[in-house]
Structure 1
Amino acid sequence: MSEATERPYILHMLTATAQMSPFDVNMAADAGYNVIVPYCNVDASMVTNLTQDAIFSRGPKGVSRTGIFIGGRDVMLAADMLETARRAMVPPFEVSVFADPSGSYTTAAALVALVERHLKRAHGMEPGGKRVLILGGTGAVGRIAAAMAATLGADVSIASHRDASHAKRVSDEINRRFDIVTTGIGTDTSDALRRALADAEIVIAAAVAGVQVVGPDDLAHARHLLIAADVNAVPPEGIAGVNVMNDGEPLGDGPDPGTIGIGALAIGNVKYQVEHRLFVRMRTSARPVYLGFQQAFDEAREVAASLG
């Protein structure tokens, strides 16, 4: 059978939400999938049956051209669904699976990889032992960024603007899940935020788009700040002075001339490359692969290193 008449590449996209992300659909198409089918409102109990329906219907050649993507918004549920899909395989009927709920795995990977890169380039330092404050840390990107930074040995504080108890619940959950150590803190008042900033060496803003979580007056309290990174691409900037285009430039409003900023478009550029590479890897790998946040982080570090 010629390449032109080979079976198409099919991607089954599962999400627990009411709709699949158009962003992920576009990314899958650009990575070479010919047929892309979304399955919405999927709960964990449905994953085994959906997976086995996908693997038993195409034969050995077809199964090598079949993949499963897991989206949604819940980062822990997506990790569970990825593992459930993996366990549902019956070799040689086995397909690749990639999880990236709300783009959080690839976005957090790009964010932490760039922080690591610029920390070394600008300051000659590694993340190990650095005090990292993640504002909006209880959200999808914040949780995964916290896990990644903690695995590098950073001293991570997960902040919630709601209250300290909410942050502690999230911190305890990811500590148990990933066998790491983080701390939950509240930044629900200006004084609490400024106390947290006063101790931080790396500040990450992973809060909702269009909300400034650190203003110029707040930033003045961050006297030990080395890097400020912001995933918010919608004005105003999440951290005052961090332009969306910043990729290691000095932070104009920073308390120290050595403080550098990493903006949303610099992070987004790496995130895009990571997601594309993982979709392509899933489609082209000679053996089935299972791609979660650790694989996203490994890929992001490679992309960041290639930037020079």
Structure 2
Amino acid sequence: MSPFDVNMAVDAGYQVVVPYADVGIDNIAALTQDAIFSRGPKGVAHTGLFIGGRDVVLAADMLLRAREAMVPPFEVSVFADPSGAYTTAAALVAGVEWHLRRSHDTDFEGKRVVVLGGTGPVGVIAGVLAARAGALVSIASSRGLEAAQAASSRINARFNVQTRGADAQLTEALDTTLSRADVVFSTAAAGVQVMNTRQVDQASQLLVAADVNAVPPAGIDGVGVADDGKPFGLHRALGIGALAIGNVKYQVQRRLFERMLASGKPVYLGFEEAFALAREVVAEREAQAV
């Protein structure tokens, strides 16, 4: 659990936050039951478990394991958001979806989505969410096609989606992939540019591009950190920057913590719940504009 998550939990109303490090999945049942049985049936309503770490697949498995360890009426809420990936990916995909509908009267169905930095935590979950929304998702890795295909296979098996691997190591291969993209997600490491001006201008079919990188240089050349649907590049695709995504991510994570505290019964919160809430947050923006 990072300092970011600790602060978010405290700001949402939790009074005591105790991080545990180096927790493996085999520790989950024991830690969960220590927490629930020490509180009593009434006290559990004021207790929650948060799963951090970095492995988004393992976090999903830990969330399931924690839920299985509950012994009603001893049952607490559980929220998983490893590396902030669930809430960040939810914000990214919901923002892109909103701009597709608002500006192009379409959605993810049948769209070719390229996830640059797709083997990282945010990229994995963004790919899963886009695939579930009907997109044709390519998971691209700078470590080459083999690494991308391995990540894609793991994602497909665990989350029951269909994605494919794409080579972002060889420039020619990446150029070809990007030239056919309708949507690009930039989810690579901070300060790393993964799509340059030439590639942007070659992407004649690009509708929307979203970049979670807030550290110069931009992950996608031409997309500013504060952009939220601003046209860029030769073909005037719409760009969504890190601050626009981050604003939605912040609201989603905080509201999920608040939901844990306010709920009269235990809730289990993963990336599906984060995405549903992110859609609500971006829809609120449209309602306010009207």
String of CA shifts for 1:244-284, please: whole Å, max 9, x gaps. Answer: 00001111xx1313x11000000000000000010000111
Distance 1:215 1:154 in 2: 24
Q: Is the 8 A contact 1:219 1:240 kept in 2?
A: yes
Deviations 1:215-255 (A, max 9, x none): 1112121110101110000000000000000001111xx13
Q: Give the equivalent residue in structure 2 for 1:255.
A: 234
Partner in structure 2 of residue 168 of structure 1: 149
Match of 1:198 in 2: 179
Q: Secondary structure at the match of 2:18?
A: strand
CA contact under 8 A between 1:225 and 1:255: conserved in structure 2? no
Match of 1:235 among 216, 235, 238: 216
**In the TM superposition, what are the counterparts of 1:194-233 in structure 2 within 5 Å?**
194-233=175-214
Partner of 2:22: 41
Q: Secondary structure at the match of 1:244?
A: coil
SS of structure 2 residue aligned to 1:200? coil
- Percent identical: 62
The 2-side partners of 1:103 and 1:113 are apart by: 15
- Which residue does 1:188 correspond to in 2? 169
Distance in 1, matches of 2:168 and 2:192, equals 14
For residue 252 of structure 2, what is the aligned residue in structure 1? 274
What's the offset of the Cα at 1:50? Answer: 0.5
SS in 1 for 2:202: coil
Equivalent runs, 1:105-120 vs 2, <5 Å: 105-120=86-101
Match of 1:27, SS state, is helix
CA distance in 1, matches of 2:39, 2:182: 53
The structure carrying a bigger helix percent of its residues is 2
TM-score, normalised to structure 2's length? 0.98
Amino acid at match of 2:82: P
5 Å-filtered alignment, 1:15-164, equals 20-164=1-145
Corresponding residue for 1:290? 268
3-state secondary structure, aligned to 1:220: helix
> How much does 1:192 deviate?
1.3
TM-score normalized by the length of structure 1: 0.92
Equivalent position SS for 1:97: strand
Are 1:210 and 1:236, in contact at CA under 8 Å, matched by a contact in 2?
yes
Alignment deviations for residues 164-184 of structure 1 (CA, whole Å, 9 cap, x no partner): 011001111111111111110
- Give the match for residue 225 of structure 2: 244
**SS across alignment from 1:132:** strand
Matched residue of 2:172: which SS?
A: helix
AA paired with 1:294? E
Aligned partners of 1:75 and 1:140 also within 8 Å: yes
Residue 106 of structure 1: SS of its match in structure 2?
helix
1:185-237: CA deviation from partner (whole Å, max 9, x where unpaired):
11112211111111001011000000111111121211101011100000000
Gaps of 5+ in 1: 1-19
State the alpha-carbon separation in 2 of the partners of residues 106 and 125 from structure 1: 23
How many equivalent pairs are there?
Answer: 286
Distance 1:61 1:163 in 2: 52
Q: Structure 2 unaligned runs (5+)?
A: none
Match of 1:127, SS state, is coil
2:144–2:170 CA contact under 8 A, matched in 1: no
- In structure 1, what is the equivalent of residue 280 of structure 2? 302
| Runs of 4+ that moved beyond 6 A | none
Distance 1:226 1:55 in 2: 48
Between 1:285-294 and 1:216-225, the stretch displaced more is 216-225
